[in-house]
Amino acid sequence: IAVAQKLLICGLSLLFHMTITKTLPVEYNIDDNFRATASWPVRFFYLYVSLMAARPKYYFAWTLADAINNAAGFGFRGYDKNGVTHWDLISNLRIQQIEFSTSFKMFLDNWNIQTALWLKRVCYERATFSPTIQTFILSAIWHGVYPGYYLTFLTGVLMTLAARAIRNNIRHYFVESPAVKLCYDIITWMATQVAISYTVVPFVLLSVKPSFTFYSSCYFCLHIASILVLLVFPLKRTQSKKHESIQPVWSKKLEEEENLLQKNSYSTTNNSFSQQQEITCRYQALKQ
């Protein structure tokens, strides 16, 4: 069933890419006539729909790979409380969470999941300073040499830090009332989708000139807004504390493992001694 469902998603993604995507080219965002005549709301709306239309090709490729893995017996995560099987252990994306992300982090956590986990393990959790910046730079290098990749990931650093600062400083004011939280979620969904689209334009355009044409036509508005957010809102240093505590945690784990080994060694020696005593007693009883 999991394979059939994923193949259906592949078919729909491919159909969408072959039809709708071609009518909404990302390059139209830098068209001179469009930039000159379209209003800001229209431009940002087209920015969102054109980048959304660019995603199905990734949905197709990653979901097809996931379906092949499942058909080969890989990716089984287990059963839920209702006994339903889950075959998403090595899935690379979660489409619903991507399209309805209400934060930059939520989007990134559900996009190219396995690569993100690898980057987290090899870079983010090991970095002793600026883990977010180091991880984005490594991700850009991993993707390749096109300048657009580096523009996207450098912009992504600003967006991620600004989004984190906003979330840490104001979100708790909007979670008490369900109605207020719903409004907050709608606003953050819109902001996230626009921010993601704005960030990844160079990733699609690849070259420096068209990328700067797009950003300059927007007056680098979200870059400036992100910098202002970081100046106004304090960025909580939770990650620094986490990284400072890594060494003690590892030391504690090593100490626990060493104690366990010593305990096992003692138990093994004690058991051997007890067995030897029992054999001696039986031998003496037989002699008598």
* Residues tagged active-site: 112, 143
* Interatomic CA distance for residues 94 and 114, integer angstroms: 12
Distance CA 24, CA 85 (A): 38
| Structural contact between residues 222 and 162, judged by C-beta atoms closer than 8 angstroms | no
Phi, psi of 24 (to 5 degrees): -130, 65
**Contact yes or no for 48/197 (Cβ under 8 A):** yes
Q: Which residues pair with 78 in a beta bridge?
A: 86
Cα–Cα dist 52/26, whole Å: 10
